[in-house]
């Protein structure tokens, strides 16, 4: 990628911050849709995380002729038939606070023994030089019994990670990036970028 500039096809501040934390130490300049105010709203019409990631990144590449990456990620709760899934950001309304969304999940999970869930992340890379490439990974968790922690964003306060005996929102940045769905997918992305730039 020329000059090691990567455009993250997102306006999600938490997501952009995590990409910056992971990629800037490796010499990348991370931009986002905030740097492209004329970019129209992208319709996420895919049926999987991977399809939606490609749709978002490709929209940036097609319009500006530049390399882009996009992450589509979300929460799958086994007791809810893997919902909210690809609807994770829009579930219960796009502008609904995650404090409310998390409470709804906790209320619906009351008395439910099956609390297994996972975060899924698909990262797509698009370029004028090659077909879209997608990297996917997950982190297995359980739904906590109450929200805990001030770090992270989204569903992190109720995502309990048994090996660390804490929620994603209780982890340090390094702890979370080490085990998270996005952290693992980004490492696959980094390997690919290193190979591309070799």
Query: Catalytic positions, please?
Result: 72
How far is 57 from 42, CA to CA, in rounded Å? 10
Bond from prior residue into 84 cis (ω within 30 degrees of 0): yes
Residue 83's CB is within 10 A of a number of other CB atoms, namely 16
Residue 107: both structure tokens together: 């209320």
- Using an 8 Å Cβ cutoff, are 148 and 139 in contact? no
Question: What SS3 class is residue 111?
Answer: coil
If you count them, how many residues does the chain have?
198
Residues ≥6 apart with Cβ < 8 Å to 174: none
DSSP-assigned letters across all residues of 17-31: HHHHHHHGGGTPEEE
Residues ≥6 apart with Cβ < 8 Å to 165: none
Q: Tokens 């982890």 map to which residue?
A: 171
How far is 149 from 169, CA to CA, in rounded Å? 4
């Amino acid at each position: 990628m020329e000059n090691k500039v990567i455009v993250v096809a997102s306006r999600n501040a938490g997501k952009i911050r995590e990409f910056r934390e992971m990629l800037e130490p490796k010499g990348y300049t991370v931009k986002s849709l905030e740097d492209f105010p004329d970019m129209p709203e992208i319709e996420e019409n895919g049926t999987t995380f991977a399809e939606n990631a490609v749709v978002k990144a490709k929209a940036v590449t097609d319009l500006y002729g530049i390399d882009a990456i996009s992450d589509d990620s979300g929460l799958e709760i086994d007791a809810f038939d893997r919902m909210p899934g690809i609807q994770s950001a829009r579930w219960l309304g796009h502008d609904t606070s995650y404090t409310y969304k998390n409470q709804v999940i906790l209320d619906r999970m009351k008395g439910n023994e099956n609390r297994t869930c996972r975060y899924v992340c698909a990262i797509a890379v698009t370029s004028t030089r090659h077909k879209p490439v997608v990297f996917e990974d997950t982190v297995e968790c359980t739904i906590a019994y109450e929200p805990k922690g001030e770090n992270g964003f989204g569903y992190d306060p109720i995502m309990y990670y048994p090996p660390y005996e804490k929620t994603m929102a209780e982890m340090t940045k390094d702890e979370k990036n080490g085990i998270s769905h996005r952290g693992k997918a980004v490492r696959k992305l980094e390997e690919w970028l290193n190979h591309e730039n070799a």
